[in-house]
Structure 1
Amino acid sequence: MVSACSFTDKLPFANGESSDAPQDVARAIPYSVTFQGLDPQEERLLAALRENSTTIRLKDRPTPTRAGLERRADDDVERFVRVLRSFGFYDAVVNYDIRDADTPPANGESEIASDDIEKIDDADAPESDGDNAEPAAQKETADSKEADAPRPVILQYRIDVGTPYLLSDAELKIVHPDGTSETRSMTDAELKTANLSIGMRAEAEPIILAEQSVLDVFRNEGYPLAKAGQKRVMADTAEKTIRVTYEVTPGKKATFGKITVDGATEVDADFIRGYHVWDSGDVYSPEKVSETRRDLAQSNLFNSVIVKPVGPVGENGEIPIEIRVQESDHRTIGGGLDYSTADGPGANAFWEHRNLFGKGEKLRLKLEGSGLKQGASASFRKPQFLRRKQALVADGEATSYTTDAYDGNLANAFTGIERRFWKHWSATYGVTVEYSDLTGPDSPNEEFYLGGLRGILRHDNTDNPLDPTEGDRLELTVSPYVSLAGANTQFTSVSLDGSQYYAFDKKGHYILAGRGRIGSIFGDERSSLPSNKRFYSGGGGSVRGYEYQTVGPLNKDGDPVGGRSVLEAGLEFRARVTDSIGLVPFVEGGNVYETVTPKDFDLMWATGLGLRYYTAIGPVRFDFAVPLDKRDNIDDDYQIYLSLGQAF
């Protein structure tokens, strides 16, 4: 029988000793613990021995006699043998010796000291005579106490691990519904699923965990009620091998059957059922069950979601599926503040309802204001529109702008379809209309009435929307526009934005993040384009260190005129100093060009240092940036930015 070993929390104090029992500290024998015969590379084994050791656990309550220490060591021997077997050393032998601390180990063999044991020193030894020598009477008393005090000892465990046993075969004993059975070796694919390999050291933990993976093999083949039977582990002491046999009762193969919903109150039950990813008649698949649960959890409608088969398999070969949910609050009110030296303070507030008509419809209303713009916006999203993983989306805004590039009023609206496909890909496409009455330093002082299409292709496999530590993002936007009335223009805007995140450690405390942007406008010349449809660069969302929209061509008064192409790049190193504080050195560059495509790669660069305060909803960002290509009488010496979330 193979079993995992962990006894620390289960066993009482050895030999009837109680944690509350009084200890005669003056007579207690101080001791340290060492291990001999172990490979120092066996770090997991050594840690398990220490964790299960009675002598280490009770080191701060030493016994007054060597016999008491021996009883503790005897208890450890039994524990250690079980631990060693769980690591594949079935022939291991454990002995121990107790010797005075000043006696070297036998044969000069090396020892591994326990990290949990404090080293014994001679701090209490009497000092030599000198100018500050103790009076004779006091010295005699100290000498007497020193003579009566027990001498420290070393408890040395001598471990002969022997030859490790290897896994020679892994078998499946399949018990059929009629009671018959067959036994066969696991295939390479089944071994891989179970994280086993022939010839591996026969450790208990992977052999035990593989039992659940073996059940997954059958569930993936359409047996939802597969159960594990008795596991048999046979050891060949001559060959030093282990053969394990997993008994499985698969039950009946099943297809997906009726779906029941439990726990829904405000969210429509039929809408919840519509999230299932399987078709009628599909063979049962735990992967499809997991995908359905994941999609429901990501709807932001529920605090918890459970999707599971509930047997038995019916006579028609179908198994019912239960979806159990606990609904969350569907309304949210929030807001935020931001600040930069160029733009001044800004604020926003929003109200959101995520179940407007009972089928997950989300309506979000937002107000925002700053020195650059003031306005209101609304967005609507209806999930599961006509088919799975498809949503009806709509948004609109009315904004007044006051920037160096243009000022005036803008209103637009968009309606379209958002479609998810593959695992991390999605697309949005639809129609848009826009009205603008903007005045700029190099643009016609006319009203534009535009109609157009918007197509967006996205890829996002990052792990956190506000503070990603790994993965990448890519967004391609294509938007053709044509005049419906007013000033005449026709053009197509194309842009590609991307970012990449790489973690140097498992906790994600050290992240290298990079971003890039390239865009072009095909069609009319720059002077015929609406001011707000041109490309601009500079500011907290693009190239920090320069004022908003000032990177690129300027007129004679120093005001930005925008361009028909843009190129940007940025790199950050995000390092957490503590769990809540981080430092972020960064460098960014960009430029805007009058031509359709960038005519060169001569970018305007800036660098800076950011401070992050990490909260439950995302990091608070404080950035200090300086322009490296500072222009006289145009660029300030530095810029400061304060907002929520990473820069990208």
Structure 2
Amino acid sequence: MLVKNYKLILLSCLFANSVWAAGIEYRVDVEAAEPIRKLLSENLDIVRWRDSGMVDREQLDRLHAAAPREIAELLATQGYFSPKIEAKLRPEGNGWQAIYQVEPGPLTEIGDVTLRLNGPIRDEPDYRPRLAEVIEVWPLPTGAIFTQQGWDNAKRRGLQALLIDRFPAARIANSRAQVDPAVQQAELEVEYDSGPRFTLGELRISGLSRYPAAIVERAARFRPGDPYTQQALLDLQRELRNLPYFSSVLVEAEIDPARPDRVPVRVDVTEAPRQAVSFGIGYGSDKGERGSLDYRHHNLFKRGWLGSVLIDVEKREQTAGAGIQWPPVGQEFRYSLNYKYTHSDVAELEESENRLTLQRARERNGITVEQSLTYVTDRSRFQEEDWLKRRALVLSQSWTRKRLDDEVDPRRGSVLSWQLSGALKGLLTDTNFMRAYSRAQLYFGVGERGRAIVRGEIGQVLADKTSDVPSDWLFRAGGAGSVRGYDYQRLGIEDGRGGVLPGRVMSTVSLEYQHPVVERWRAAVFVDRGGAADRWETFKAQTGVGVGVRWISPVGPLAFDVAQGRGSRNEAGERRTQWRWHFSLGATF
């Protein structure tokens, strides 16, 4: 048996050598403009078989004879229908040389386009607007260059305009592209068949075992009998993916032209664990060392309520809190109830705060709207002085819009936000006050890879008595996300004892340029200016200038900055300068 195997291997080797020996060497030269030469050199059969070692003379003749037809077909895909092709095959040393001289001729333009829309859609009240929509999205107008790829894309583009709204079974019933090489023009004709009108039906949910089906049902923004739209399905899928209950979600409708009414919507989910615990450690130049514990329960009382407990300990600030969030209902607001205790010791001012907040929030199309009612009690003191106590019941409204090309490391886009808050004396509040705050952060691409970041914020508090306003509703500035070159929240009202009190007005502005250096590293230069004060008449902006490096990590930019705080001049005209370094992780919005 072993001898037979050796014989079989030997015969196979002899056969392979005989085939290899039968092959001949040849070279292919395409003489044409560079884009055409590249297209032909990468797609002709005679080129693909050149290095196989298995082409004999007879096969080479067949490949050479077929090449002009292949060249014409390839050029036609690019809009050239009148090429001049000269082919030669001649001996060269021990092999052969195949030469193809190609003049593609003039490009073919689109002379006329006819689009027709038939089927049950003609009975719809918006038939003419839908036909106008197909015409509007059609990307090949009269005078455009005709190519096969452009023709295929245009047909799909027109079809997509039907598929996404009420007619998911639409199809291309007929299409024709008639090219006249004599005048280099193409006449295009497409007929779409809409198919039946579809409506959405009941949800068919699979994959649930831990969480109630009501979570999925409440997230749907449509009801059985509503017109089919792809957007409705995408909205439901996005809404469910944003919830912590599921690790994966797939939403599909069963499209059967024979049964278009109330088509079932299949929702396949993979559940996330019922409970999650996370730990974190870190360091920041503003607040020092940091450790955190975050516990979340995703199904309190088996009703899909979200429970959370957070402990966050930093050198200058410590936080503990707990909360409950109720599942959302479609596009309606999400409600939550949260308690948080905070203790801080910043700029010689020690503060303790208790905050209980009832909030509702809604996110739609990148815009987040929030309303909240917060009861806050706080106390503060300098060093060992007596505690100053305050309380307030604050009603707030906020709005934030994000338009970013990348959530982790944006290069273009903007983040805009504003907040308006107020409290009335006597309603669990020590003094009347109103607080307004607004912030903008803009990103601009500079050159091929550089970027500029412009940031600005402004705020003001109107109050009968500033000392009775909880300090967290007033303003201070300074630090990594504010005016660099100064310690965290060190810009405010100096009390003459080394401490800094928060003020009623605040404004900061920053301009930063980042330039790529190597791979994930960027260099940065920046200038910041701003501060806080009791009123605008006494407001004095401070300036910080500096340089830094950015390392783009998977969770966002890691920033290290060295900045000089260029303080105000004294009576002798001398400027008080200071140097600070700042460290932060992630984009700050």
Interval of TM-score (by shorter of Structure 1 and Structure 2): 0.7 to 0.9
CA contact (8 A) 2:397 2:419 kept: yes
Q: Please report the TM-score for the alignment, with normalisation by the length of structure 1.
A: 0.75
Q: 1:624 to 1:160 in 2, by over 3 A?
A: same
- Cα-to-partner distance string for 1:265-299 (whole Å, 9 max, x where unaligned): 33332321332223554322223233222322333
Decide which of 343, 348, 355 is 1:400's aligned counterpart: 343
CA contact (8 A) 2:121 2:197 kept: no
For residues 404-553 of structure 1, what are the structure 2 equivalents within 5 Å?
Answer: 404-420=347-363, 423-440=365-382, 445-482=387-424, 488-504=430-446, 509-553=449-493
Instruction: Compute the displacement of 1:372 (Å).
Output: 0.7
Q: Which residue of 2 aligns with 1:121?
A: none
Decide which of 556, 559, 574 is 1:621's aligned counterpart: 559
Query: Is 1:164 equivalent to 2:104 in the alignment?
Result: no
Q: Which residue of 2 aligns with 1:93?
A: 84
CA contact (8 A) 1:575 1:583 kept: yes
RMSD of equivalent CA atoms: 4.0
Q: Which residue of 2 aligns with 1:644?
A: 585
CA distance in 2: counterparts of 1:264 and 1:534, whole angstroms: 47
Instruction: Compute the displacement of 1:350 (Å).
Output: 1.8
CA contact (8 A) 1:444 1:527 kept: no
CA distance in 1: counterparts of 2:17 and 2:416, whole angstroms: 60
For residues 9-408 of structure 1, what are the structure 2 equivalents within 5 Å?
Answer: 33-36=29-32, 38=33, 43=35, 47-54=38-45, 74=65, 76-97=67-88, 155=99, 157-172=101-116, 174=118, 189-279=133-223, 281-312=225-256, 317-329=261-273, 331-341=275-285, 343-356=287-300, 361-385=305-329, 388-408=331-351
- Cα-to-partner distance string for 1:313-360 (whole Å, 9 max, x where unaligned): 688943332223333445443344443456432232322344545665
Instruction: Compute the displacement of 1:630 (Å).
Output: 7.7
Structure (1/2) with the larger strand percentage: 2
Q: Which residue of 1 aligns with 2:494?
A: 554
CA distance in 2: counterparts of 1:576 and 1:156, whole angstroms: 45
CA distance in 2: counterparts of 1:168 and 1:399, whole angstroms: 71
Q: Secondary structure at the match of 2:219?
A: coil
CA contact (8 A) 1:275 1:296 kept: yes
CA contact (8 A) 2:531 2:541 kept: yes
Q: Secondary structure at the match of 2:404?
A: coil
- In structure 2, the gaps of 5 or more residues are 1-15, 123-127
Letter in 1 for 2:477: S
Q: 1:201 to 1:23 in 2, by over 3 A?
A: farther
Deviates more, 1:333-342 or 1:255-264: 333-342
Instruction: Compute the displacement of 1:542 (Å).
Output: 1.3
CA distance in 1: counterparts of 2:154 and 2:427, whole angstroms: 69
- Cα-to-partner distance string for 1:450-506 (whole Å, 9 max, x where unaligned): 222122122222244443333221221122135669994332221111212233579
CA distance in 1: counterparts of 2:258 and 2:94, whole angstroms: 75
Letter in 2 for 1:491: F
CA distance in 2: counterparts of 1:77 and 1:350, whole angstroms: 69
CA contact (8 A) 1:368 1:376 kept: yes
CA contact (8 A) 2:283 2:290 kept: yes
Letter in 2 for 1:407: E
CA distance in 2: counterparts of 1:580 and 1:73, whole angstroms: 50
- Cα-to-partner distance string for 1:235-282 (whole Å, 9 max, x where unaligned): 334443333443443222233222222333333323213322235543
Q: 1:160 to 1:282 in 2, by over 3 A?
A: same
Instruction: Compute the displacement of 1:416 (Å).
Output: 1.9
Letter in 1 for 2:581: Q
Q: Which residue of 2 aligns with 1:13?
A: none
CA distance in 2: counterparts of 1:23 and 1:574, whole angstroms: 61
Q: Secondary structure at the match of 1:274?
A: helix
How many percent of aligned residue pairs carry the same amino acid?
Answer: 18
- Cα-to-partner distance string for 1:561-602 (whole Å, 9 max, x where unaligned): 22110001122334444553333333222111220x476674
For residues 555-634 of structure 1, what are the structure 2 equivalents within 5 Å?
Answer: 555-595=495-535, 597=536, 602-615=541-554, 617-629=555-567
Structure (1/2) with the larger helix percentage: 2
CA contact (8 A) 2:110 2:141 kept: no
CA contact (8 A) 2:542 2:567 kept: no
- Cα-to-partner distance string for 1:170-224 (whole Å, 9 max, x where unaligned): 333635699xxxxx9x955313324232332221112212333333333345223
Q: 1:531 to 1:218 in 2, by over 3 A?
A: closer
Letter in 1 for 2:333: Q
Q: Which residue of 2 aligns with 1:134?
A: none
Instruction: Compute the displacement of 1:517 (Å).
Output: 0.6
Q: 1:465 to 1:228 in 2, by over 3 A?
A: same
CA distance in 1: counterparts of 2:511 and 2:121, whole angstroms: 61
Q: Secondary structure at the match of 1:638?
A: strand
Deviates more, 1:542-551 or 1:46-55: 46-55
CA contact (8 A) 2:392 2:429 kept: no
CA contact (8 A) 1:412 1:435 kept: yes
Q: 1:637 to 1:571 in 2, by over 3 A?
A: same
Q: 1:51 to 1:304 in 2, by over 3 A?
A: farther
Instruction: Compute the displacement of 1:233 (Å).
Output: 3.1
